[in-house]
Amino acid sequence: MTVARDIMTPDPRCVGENETLVDAARLMASLDVGALPICGEDKRLKGMLTDRDIVVKCLAQGGDPATTSAGSLGEGKPITIGADDDIVEALDTMKRHQVRRLPVIDGHDLVGIISQADVALALAPEDTGETVAEISE
DSSP string, 50-119: EHHHIIIIIGGGT--TTTSBGGGG--SSPP-EETTSBHHHHHHHHHHHT-SEEEEEETTEEEEEEEHHHH
Report pLDDT digits (tens) over 82-132: 999 998 899 899 989 989 899 999 988 899 999 988 888 877 766 666 666
Fill in the amino acid letter for 23. D
Is 39 exposed, middle or buried (CB count within 10 Å of its CB: 0-12, 13-18, 19+)? buried
Q: Model-level pTM?
A: 0.84
Tell which CATH classification among 3.90.1150.10, 3.30.420.40, 3.90.1010.10, 3.10.580.10 matches the domain 4-135.
3.10.580.10
Fill in the amino acid letter for 41. E
Report pLDDT digits (tens) over 30-71: 999 999 999 988 878 999 999 999 999 999 999 999 999 999
